[in-house]
Amino acid sequence: MSVDISNFNPFDPTTQQCPFPHYAKMREEAPVHAVASIGVHMVTKHDLVMQVLRDPQTFSSMFGGAGMPLSGPERERFAEVMSKGYPRVPTMLTADQPEHTRYRRLVSRAFHPKVIAEMEPVVREITVGLIESWIDKGRIEFVKEFAVPLPVRVIAKALNVPDDRLADFKRWSDDSIAGIGTNISIDDRIKAEYGVNEFQHYFAEQLELRRTNPQDDLLTNLLNATIDDDDPEVTDNRQLDMPEMLSIVQQLLVAGNETTTKTLTEMIRLLAENPDEWAKLKADPSRAERVMEETLRLSTPTQGMWRVVTKDTTLGGVDLKKGQRIIIVFASANRDEDLYDEPDAFDPDREHLRDNLAFGKGIHFCLGANLSRLEGKVAAEELSKRLDTISLTSNNKFEYFPSFMLRGLTDLEIEFTPAKVSK
């Protein structure tokens, strides 16, 4: 497929359905490519993306929000709605050191590999429960019946909040990412912002409940946490305020839902399209981790992320000015032919699998990576154990959400035959 990157438009619906030929061309011709249509440079080679990730002093994460920046009256209308909620403060994803380290330290314990490993039985119970709810149907819409509810239920367990608001959790997650990499109308963005306000008020209430009735959970830990016991630079050792706590909780709730949903959906698509790999997985479930990792590399649901240049610098031979915005394109780095042979092929046995950047790297490395990997591994194990054959029905249109930053299928219908398993 021949593509022209000189007028690359990430909002173009055709490009959004399959941006990979454009990324390949950028890697070949201009790995730090000025994209006139959105006024940013896109960084597409693995080594250059790594260079940015390793240098958070030059490439700041203080980009405000991950949505497209607004200006003029639109910005004012948006700010007016935001003012009805709690102030949005930068904590992890959108903070730089040293603040970033202080906030991240408060929650990193809850996502430590050991703590996440202890969640495996819960993740398995939720996974098996979902599969059993549709195993006799023979045909399902996989996104709705599996890929959405699994991460929503898991994060609700991790946050120890009641199950009765699961549908709202999903809606609030969607609202929180509505403006990321999309050009939805300002009215839709404002509507979504009302959802974010609703999220804030719900979790403010959950946090207040724990003030009078403490529990052994992450929200109570946030209430009791101080900034920062061990840091000599911090003299006022205060507790977190509500906007800070809500910012942290929002990232935990939102960052994991859509991304994990999109990965699980791509995993079943790739397995259905590669029957040899499905057969190998069924014969040897220990391949589940590799299957998940290769899915992450190929699908890279967080296709890219913003950085702001803090001082005049050069990257890949291209001059960048202080204040300029760039996008580091993880999805392109993950198909860099300098690292991966036949990068577009699904090959769970390939080398350098764990060098993929689906979760980023460096100080902002995804806090939920262990949790998502666990969900993907358990899903691959249980689906391959409980389903015999899988195929994609002819009803599928394979449409991806219209975002150039968060990429995933809107729906996916699969047909299957159940396997005979001892429960």
In the complex, the residues that contact ligand HEM under the rule CB under 6 A are 61, 92-93, 104, 155, 251-252, 255-256, 259-260, 263, 301-302, 305, 330, 358-360, 364, 366-368, 371-372
Q: Which is nearer to ligand HEM, 182 or 372 (CB)?
A: 372
3-state secondary structure of 150: helix
Of the pair 245, 358, the CB lying nearest ligand HEM is at 358
CA within 13 Å, CB half, 231: 18
CB of 418 to ligand HEM, least distance (A): 27
Where in 93-251 does DSSP place strands (E)? 139-141, 226-227, 238-239
CA–CA dist 298, 285 (Å, integer): 20
Give the shortest CB-40-to-ligand HEM separation in angstroms.
15
Contacts of 95 (CB under 8 A, 6+ apart): 61, 62, 103
Of 220 and 389, nearer to ligand HEM (C-beta) is 220
Q: How far is the CB of 360 from ligand HEM (least distance, A)?
A: 3
Q: Residue 387: which residues within 8 A CB-CB, separation 6 or more?
A: 131, 135, 416, 417, 418, 419
In the chain, count H helices and then E strands: 17, 12
First to last CA, the chain: 48
> Shortest approach of ligand HEM to residue 93 CB, angstroms?
4
Backbone φ and ψ for 3, nearest 5 degrees, come out as: -130, 155
Distance CA 101, CA 108 (A): 10
Burial of 14 (0-12, 13-18, 19+ CB in 10 A): exposed
**Residue 12 or 55 having the CB closest to ligand HEM:** 55
Quick one: 240 or 366, whose CB is closer to ligand HEM? 366
Q: Rounded to whole angstroms, how far apart are CA atoms 264 and 381?
A: 12
Beta carbon nearer to ligand HEM, 330 or 404: 330
- For the CB of residue 88, give the shortest distance to ligand HEM in the complex, in Å: 15
**5 or 151: CB nearest ligand HEM:** 151
Nearer to ligand HEM, 258 or 416 (CB): 258
Shortest Cβ 100–ligand HEM spacing (Å): 6
In whole angstroms, how close is the CB of 395 to ligand HEM at the nearest point?
Answer: 26
Backbone angles phi, psi at 409, to 5 degrees: -70, 145
**How far apart are the C-alpha atoms of 137 and 213, rounded to whole Å?**
43
Residue nearest to ligand HEM (CB): 368
Q: Which is nearer to ligand HEM, 148 or 252 (CB)?
A: 252
E strand residue ranges, 208-293: 226-227, 238-239
Q: Rounded to the nearest whole angstrom, what is the least distance from the CB of residue 278 to ligand HEM in the complex?
A: 21
Cα(376)–Cα(259) distance, integer angstroms:
11
User: If you search the block for the tokens 């997650």, which residue do you land on?
Assistant: 173
Q: How far is the CB of 213 from ligand HEM (least distance, A)?
A: 24
Whichever of 371 and 390 has its CB closer to ligand HEM, that residue is: 371
- Beta strand residue intervals within 201-263, DSSP E: 226-227, 238-239
Angle at 307 between CA 266 and CA 104, to 5 degrees: 80
At its nearest, how many Å lie between ligand HEM and the CB of residue 248? 8
